[in-house]
């Protein structure tokens, strides 16, 4: 059923959906079932444990905790690897990249070209990927390292046992498996897009092509009134079968931007941002959320309420995040990053530090400091009474550089929305860099 509704767009072409899903079936037969590289039919991967041993040693045991981007880390870790190992790694990367709808095909191709190195046949790589993906990953892309390891451990067990793939997926304890190979302080990440997407790929008649756990919870809550984490997928299938039906996208109906079935405060403004200004503009960028045409009276009213909204936006977000902020982790991280050794002083002033831009630097490219898992989290608060939010060049640079530890929260009519525009930030940054549009911004 749901394999014909792969994204949050109701009008997504069914034939394109079929072609996209069939590409996975082609990959599954070649790589997982026949044990052959998707990029070279002459390379048999699973005749022995070489590829498994090499992956675990290079990628997990030899974990790179530096601030380099993942692609640079993997490039270094693959130095000196054999053709067979490089092909295995490239197949794992393909498996990760293939279903991501909001990642450019050209980016996926360039990554495979880098990982295959001298063993790359670019035509074969290009033919392996279609333009379309299955689901938007958004901010979940920050867990790429953990997602790739999850796919690796699934692959290892599946090619060895050939048991029910969904049973394997749902019983993988990634944290424990990684800790068996390294003493590194890994995150115990629970919300992995790879788990949801693999479940869908191997059983599209039961699982939804949704990688956002919050969305799944919202679907169940809307129809059943409450949700249980352990039964989300079962409950959504029950809703499909008994209430909603199988002929349209349940994601679009409940979580989509233009859903008509939601009441005001339940609507999530996400992934609908559009860049209005050109990359070489001298003014800040305008991002339009749910665009609509305004009259002059609308504009005047919006400007009047904008000032009122801006006064309490940051405080609203602070009240929302304070219970989720681990102050001990925050103190340690701030001490490490900024070289502050006076822990007592930090502890006494931690609430002021959380309100960073308000108390320390009104021109800072972020407003609040919090934590996510065991990392620091920079939060940019934007208030609006209409459909636009604005970013300075400095904010774009900071968001780009700290994308894995950065969150945008928009406050409108005293309601807080999490906005995921990471891909857009990267696009704007790249365009401005290409056009030399940074001016005096450092």
Boundary (domain end) residue, out of 211, 243, 265: 211
Boundary (domain end) residue, out of 187, 211, 235: 211
**Cβ pair 304, 346 in contact under 8 A:** no
3-class DSSP assignment, residue 412: strand
Domain match, 194 and 333 both: no
The answer to the question of residue 62 being in a domain is yes
Give me the mean pLDDT over the 236-256 stretch.
86
Domain match, 64 and 191 both: yes
The answer to the question of residue 223 being in a domain is no
The answer to the question of residue 188 being in a domain is yes
Cα torsion for 311, 317, 323, 325, to the nearest 10°? Answer: -110
Domain match, 197 and 288 both: no
Domain match, 173 and 286 both: no
Domain that holds residue 350: 274-434
pLDDT at residue number 54: 98
Domain match, 195 and 280 both: no
Domain match, 278 and 206 both: no
Determine what percent of the chain is predicted with pLDDT higher than 90.
Answer: 43
Backbone angles phi, psi at 186, to 5 degrees: -70, 155
The answer to the question of residue 240 being in a domain is no
Domain match, 28 and 101 both: yes
The answer to the question of residue 259 being in a domain is no
Give me the mean pLDDT over the 351-367 stretch.
82
Q: For the chain, what is the domain count?
A: 2
> Which residues are paired to 411 by β-bridges?
383, 416
The answer to the question of residue 15 being in a domain is yes
Domain match, 329 and 207 both: no
Domain match, 202 and 284 both: no
Q: Quick check: 379 pLDDT over 50?
A: yes
Domain match, 177 and 44 both: yes
Would you call 115 exposed, middle or buried from its count of C-beta atoms within 10 A (0-12, 13-18, 19+)?
buried
Domain match, 202 and 278 both: no
pLDDT at residue number 361: 76
Interhelix angle for 70-77 vs 105-116, to 10°? 20
Q: Quick check: 300 pLDDT over 60?
A: no
pTM of the entire predicted model: 0.63
Parallel, antiparallel, or unpaired: how do β-strands 375-383 and 368-372 relate? antiparallel
- Sheet strand arrangement including 388-391: 274-275, 285-288, 388-391
Q: Quick check: 277 pLDDT over 60?
A: no
Instruction: Report pLDDT digits (tens) over 47-61.
Output: 999 999 999 999 999
Give me the mean pLDDT over the 139-166 stretch.
93
Mean pLDDT of the chain: 81
Confidence of residue 274 (pLDDT cuts 50, 70, 90): very low
Boundary (domain end) residue, out of 162, 184, 211: 211
The answer to the question of residue 221 being in a domain is no
Region of poorest pLDDT, from 129-143, 154-168, 196-210:
129-143
Alpha-carbon distance of 48 to 395, in angstroms, equals 50
Backbone angles phi, psi at 66, to 5 degrees: -70, 175
Domain match, 292 and 204 both: no
- Element at 220 (helix H, strand E): helix 213-224
Greater model confidence, 184 or 374? 184
The answer to the question of residue 251 being in a domain is no
Residue written as token pair 């767009």: 9
Neighbour count for residue 137 (Cβ, 10 Å)? 26
């Amino acid at each position: 059923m749901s394999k014909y509704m792969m994204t949050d767009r109701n009008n997504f072409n069914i034939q394109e959906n079929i072609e996209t899903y069939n590409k996975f079936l082609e990959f599954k037969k070649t790589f997982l079932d026949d044990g052959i590289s998707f990029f070279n039919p002459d390379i048999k991967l699973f005749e022995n444990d070489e590829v498994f041993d090499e992956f675990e040693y290079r990628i997990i045991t030899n974990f790179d905790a530096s601030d380099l981007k993942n692609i640079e880390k993997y490039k270094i870790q693959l130095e000196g690897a054999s053709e067979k190992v490089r092909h295995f790694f490239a197949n794992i990367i393909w498996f990760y990249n293939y279903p991501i709808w909001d990642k450019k095909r050209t980016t996926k191709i360039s990554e495979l070209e880098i990982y295959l190195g001298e063993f790359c046949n670019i035509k074969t790589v290009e033919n392996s990927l279609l333009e379309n993906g299955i689901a938007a990953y958004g901010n979940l892309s920050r867990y790429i390292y953990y997602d790739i390891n999850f796919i690796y451990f699934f692959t290892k067990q599946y090619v060895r046992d050939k048991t029910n793939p969904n049973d394997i997926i749902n019983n993988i304890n990634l944290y424990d498996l990684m800790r068996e190979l390294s003493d590194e302080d890994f995150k115990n990440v629970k919300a992995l897009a790879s788990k949801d997407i693999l479940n869908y790929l191997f059983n599209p008649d039961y699982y939804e092509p949704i990688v956002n756990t919050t969305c799944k919870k919202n679907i169940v809550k809307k129809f059943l009134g409450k949700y249980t984490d352990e039964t989300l997928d079962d409950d959504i299938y029950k809703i499909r079968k008994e209430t909603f039906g199988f002929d349209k996208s349940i994601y679009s109906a409940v979580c989509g931007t233009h859903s008509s079935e939601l009441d005001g405060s339940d609507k999530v403004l996400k992934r609908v941002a559009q860049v209005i200004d050109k990359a070489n503009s001298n003014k800040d960028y305008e991002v339009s959320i749910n665009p609509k045409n305004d009259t002059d009276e609308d504009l005047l009213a919006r400007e009047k309420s904008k000032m009122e909204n801006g006064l309490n936006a940051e405080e609203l977000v602070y009240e929302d995040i304070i219970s989720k902020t681990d102050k001990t982790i925050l103190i340690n991280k701030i001490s490490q990053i900024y070289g502050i050794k006076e822990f007592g002083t930090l502890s006494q002033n931690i609430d002021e530090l959380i309100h960073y831009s308000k108390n320390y630097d009104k021109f800072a490219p972020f407003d609040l400091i919090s934590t996510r898992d065991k990392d620091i989290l920079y939060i940019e608060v934007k208030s609006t009474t209409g459909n636009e939010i604005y970013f300075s060049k400095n904010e774009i640079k900071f968001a780009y550089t700290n994308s894995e530890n950065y969150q945008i929260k928009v406050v409108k009519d005293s309601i807080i929305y999490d906005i995921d525009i990471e891909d857009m930030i990267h696009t704007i940054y790249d365009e401005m860099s290409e056009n030399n549009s940074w001016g005096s911004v450092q």
